Every structure is written in C-alpha cells, then in structure tokens.
Chain A
C-alpha cells in the first residue's frame, strides 16, 4: 500500500505541493478505508499507479490549460502547455482499456493529425535549413571569387545576404504559424477528450460491487 502511494506520488510531480497532498491524502484515506493491504489489492481497485496518475493529471492539465488561455500569458508558454495537454490526453486514452470503437477512431484521427503536423514541421525545417546553407554557400563563393571578378563576387554576396535576410524576416511568422497549429490541435484534442472520455469515465472500469446489494 505504501509502495503504491509512493509510486503514485512520484508520478504527480507536475502538480504543486498543495494539490499533490490533497490527491494523495484522498487516496491514502480511501485505501485505508477500503482495507487494500497489498499492492495488488490497490491495483485491482484503482488501477496501476500510472493509470491513476494519468487520469488525475489529464483532469488537472485540461483545467490548467483553460486557465492559461484566460490569462494574457505569452505564446510560447501557451503552446508548451498545449503540447503537454495533448500528450497527457493521449496517455490517458492509452491507459484505459479500449472498449469503445469511438476511442479507436479518436486515436486514428489523432495519429493522422500528428503525422500531418510532423510532416509539415519537417518540411518547414528542411526548407529553412536548405535556404540557410544556400545563403552561406553564396556568401562563401562570393568571397572566394572576389580576387577574380569583383562584379561576380558582388552578385554572389548580395544574393546570399538577401536570402539570409529574407529568412530572418520569415522566421517569426513560421514560429507563430507553428504555435498556432499546436494550439489548434490542442483545442481539438481537449474537445474530443471532454466529449468522449469525461462522460465515459464514470462507466469505464466501474466494477459492480455485488456484495453491496
């Protein structure tokens, strides 16, 4: 039982002390009252520490993220929290036995969206990287031929500088665009989570306690 709570507590590092203590106190009391003496008893009743922690964290993260969007926090913080929310929701979905086809569909959609976003990101980064190399290549070539033909050198150096300058101009736009995509995906994921998981949670894994009837 202490093992179980230790493992559970270790998985709640993202909560602040007050919140963590409150969660732990609730489950410590619950375990004592339910007389779950062994680790196995706890798992049978509440799921593995990981499953329990994911459920608790997914619940917190979503509320946390909603609060973040209300306040006027900066973009990087937002998309960071967005990524975390997506991740936690995916983990929460994964930690539950998939009994409902809807969950499989959600996972497939999430996977497809993730693949598209990832592909876009890779393409963007590769494109920018290639342009940078081209720019610096032009600069080097320009400096290289400086001795032979000053006009050719000017052309190369000018083009190189123009490319790098252009990139620097576009960069904030690209970063803004990426964070926009992440936030959009995060919102969709949260909506899906609210729609499907929250309603099902009461049912899922709800063992009937026949002895109580």
Chain B
C-alpha cells in the first residue's frame, strides 16, 4: 500500500485493538500487521508514547517461566480513541467525497 499511516492514526489503531482486549507486544504487532503494513520495530515507540501520555497502562503476567507485559487501555485512552475516531470519520468522509469527484458535503 502506497499510502502511509500517520502516527496519530497508528495510535488510534493500537488503542482500538486494546479496547477489545489486552495485548502483549508480539501479539499486538501480529494483529496490526494482519491489517496494515507496519514494521516490527515500529510498535515500541508507539507503545512508549501511549504509556507516557497515560493512555495505556502495563502489567506483567507469567508465561512459561518468564513475564509477558500486557498493555491495557485507560479511561483517558478511551477518550483519546473516541477523539481520533471522530477526526478520522470526518476526514475520511471528506477524502472519499473528493476521490469520487463529488461536491463538498
């Protein structure tokens, strides 16, 4: 796909996935890559940013003698997700209408 995703949208995608369930790093990458092309090294900076902004929290869970760090969306994260969704709806409608050559709605 030639169109590149912005970091805001990537934040939104990750938050949306986390709203369905808690993910650990690798599973989250896999899930994301099933839908869009993101590189393996992309996700760490994203999760770090989300955590710094207080949109996600982490907790560790034992798995086969080691820990897996799970990411969980916070209330602030849910608010942020709603805002990004809202922006995206407006934006995508505008782009869709432009691409169809239609008049401004």
Chain A residues close to B by CB (< 8 Å): 22-23, 25-27, 29-30, 32-34, 45-47, 51-52, 55-56, 59, 198-209, 212-213
- For the complex, what is the distance from the CA of A48 to the CA of B60, rounded to whole Å? 28
How many Å lie between the Cα of A34 and that of B26 in the bound state?
7
- Alpha-carbon separation in the docked complex, A170 to B67 (Å): 60
Contact: B4 with A30, CB < 8 Å?
no
What is the bound-complex CA distance between A27 and B39, given in angstroms? 14
Interface size class of B (residues with CB under 8 A): 20 to 34
Does B59 make an interface contact (CB < 8 A)?
no
A201 interface neighbour in B25, B29, B39, B69, Cβ under 8 Å: B39
Which residues of chain B have C-beta atoms less than 8 A from A22's C-beta? 48
Which residues of chain B come closer than 8 Å to A203, judged between CB atoms?
1, 4-5, 37-39
- The DSSP consensus for interface residues of chain B is mixed
Cβ of B27 under 8 Å from chain A: yes
B42 at the interface (CB under 8 A from A): yes
A30 touches B34 (CB 8 A): no
Given pairs A206-B42, A208-B33, 10 additional interface contacts (CB within 8 A): A29-B26, A46-B40, A52-B41, A56-B41, A56-B45, A202-B39, A202-B42, A203-B5, A206-B33, A212-B30
Contact, CB under 8 Å: B30 / A209? yes
The answer to whether residues A199 and B45 also contact, given A29-B25, A207-B39, A208-B37 and a CB cut-off of 8 A, is no
Distance in Å: Cβ of B47 to nearest Cβ of chain A: 8
Residue in A closest to B35 when the chains form the complex, CB atoms: A212
Closest residue of A by beta carbon distance from B33: A209
Distance between A28 CB and nearest chain B CB, rounded to angstroms: 8
Binary interface encoding of chain B residues 37-60 relative to chain A, with 1 for a CB under 8 A from any of its CBs, else 0: 111111011011000000000000
* Bound CA span A202–B29, Å: 12
